[in-house]
Amino acid sequence: MAPVKQRLTRLSGRTSIFFAISWWAFGVRFWRAFIFTIGIIVAMVPEGLLPTLTLALVLATQRMARRNVLIRHLPAVETLGSTTVICSDKTGTLTQNRMLVNRLFLEDRFVSVAEAVRAQSATQRYRPFFLAARLCQDLKEGVRNGKTVFFGDPMDIALVEMAQTSQMEVPSGQRADEIPFDADRMRVSVVYETPDGAMLFCKGAPEKVLALCSRTQVGGEPRPFPAELRNAVIRAQEEMAEQGLRVLAFAYRFLESPWQHDRLEAELVFAGLVGLEDPPRPEVPEAIRRCQEAGIRVIMVTGDHPRTAVAIAREVGLVRSGAPRVITGDMLRNLSEIELRMALDAAEIIFARVGADQKLRIVDALKGKRQVVAVTGDGVNDAPALKSAHIGIAMGISGTDVAKEASDMVLLDDNFASIVNAIEEGRAVFQNIRRFLAYILTHNVAELVPYLAFALFGFPLALTPIQVLSIDMGTDTLSALGLGVEKPAPQIMRRPPRSAGDRLLNLPLALRAYLFLGLVEAAGAMAAFFFVLEKGGWRFGQDLAHGDPLYRQATTACLSAIIVMQGANVFLCRSATRSLSSTGFSGNPLIVWGVALEIALMLIIDYTRWGNAILGTLPLAREVWFVVIPLAAGMVFLEESRKWFVRRKLKDRAAAPSP
């Protein structure tokens, strides 16, 4: 909103030029030139614009909050409408983040969870595997409804719940050592004292864990890890990944005290694979379809296995072709900036096994291609990408405080569909601002013309400065705000994103507001003014005192004509192309209440003693209304005719054959 304030300040400063020109160049009397200058300032500076704009943005954030989107920075509301690319995480955003262990690969074959639990209960055959699943986590325990529950990562919760079904004895000692997870290592290792001695347990991405394993668990004992069995593990991982499962590998080793921290992860024993199911959110396929219709690209950026990412992308409709472009973190490290930008031109592209620093690189590459980028993130390491993106989106449920602080908006439900809803609201906000700009600028012209006629042609001043303020700050305020909270147009998400450089006050809007609606309203207001003067016997060149009843009635007619025509104009401004039969007169209670307020204030101004005293008005005769109301009807007819021609032109253009 800062540019708007600067433009209004410059406009106020330049009005002094009008004073100098009218006084010295045209020989207008000093006081007439002074009144003209004051009128120009009041008429051309829309005093209600800034508060109305602010209220419209605030109300938009409230609507977004009802749709599970919390806006942290107000300008982000408008920026959302120009978003061209969404870089989205997979887990918890596209999926439900409600994980369940689906398949296990232990020793040399797939086994069900129930089978593994039975074997563990009977023979302790898979004890190291279940211990690793139970201990490689940082969950918090709590009590809910009298039962012990876990709080934390849903993946860890699913693994712990699986391990608990085996009813094995868990070491009661404290964690003796650990190597925490990071995006480069893609694994975590912990050390516990057990009845069998100190043991290290490792959990992570299969390719990262397998590289550390020299032996494997077979028949309940560590055995050599031959190449054919290692290949069988890799094939099992790929098979589970192709089913859309999130695959983790577990390993362990016995330690001799004292152990060396920097040599913990060596000579490990492979314990097994886990495939976790995380079903897509049911709303996501429709949200992806809406993005595609709206010309918004969705790029999955995930730390999961490429096959898992592709499987989920197919399930939600993000990938339709047989061979999407898949770039892993290792591949991304070897790409130059030019190569990355060229890769981003692919119709379908997925980034898998990428780290937070690589997410930042992807965002910067898209910005270099002049895209307006929205990116999701939940971890501490995601903060740079969230800061760099035009719209940083943090997860409200799983997100860290650091991620939320770096973001522009927070998803209260971590749902991708909420992002699409926010973009729809952002597009609607931009259109709504244009609607009330057209509405406000229309009456600015109607307020300006009386001062031009006063200064240049010597007509009596048809509208006093305080009457202008009564329109700007009184009668029009609620109606303009009503336009600012219009619901999104039915086709708003079937149009391409607007250009980031597209200005609010563009040429079509200026022509419609200033040279069409504004001139029509100004002509109607001046017609009402001169109707009262002529009926009262006034002739051109005759001076009228400010307190003359005829003059006060004439200015009242001009003011009332503007108010009535603005009451009709607010419905016309709901759409630049759709007819009144399409937009209707209902569906927006604030506009209805705004028009009711306009009528009430107009009656108070015209027909109450203190309204007459404050604004210099007098009650109007009945026949004046027989002029004012047809003038408003004529404005409706002319604008509806213009819209009809525009719709016909657009229809003909759409039906024309391509060259």
Q: Provide the annotated active-site residues.
A: 89
Q: b/e map of 508-535 (b: 16 or more CB within 10 Å)?
A: ebeebbbebbbebbbbbbbbbbbbbbeb
Six-digit token string for 492: 């708003």
Six-digit token string for 574: 């709901």
* Coil/strand/helix, residue 376: strand
DSSP tag of 295: T
Contact (CB, 8 A) for 162 and 180: no
Tokens 């790929």 -> residue: 238
Report the candidate in 171, 93, 110 with the shortest Cα–Cα distance to residue 135.
171
Measured in whole angstroms, the distance separating CA 214 from the mean position of its chain's CA atoms is: 50
Identity of residue 601? L
Contact (CB, 8 A) for 259 and 226: no
Contact (CB, 8 A) for 436 and 498: no
Element (H, E) at 628: helix 622-655
DSSP E strands in 41-146: the ranges are 69-71, 85-88, 100-106, 109-111, 140-144
Identity of residue 65? A
- From its phi and psi, is residue 27 left (phi > 0), alpha (psi between -120 and 50) or beta? left
Q: b/e map of 229-263 (b: 16 or more CB within 10 Å)?
A: beeebeebbbbbbeebbbbbbbbbbebeeeeeeee
- For residue 377, how many other CB atoms are within 10 A of its CB? 33
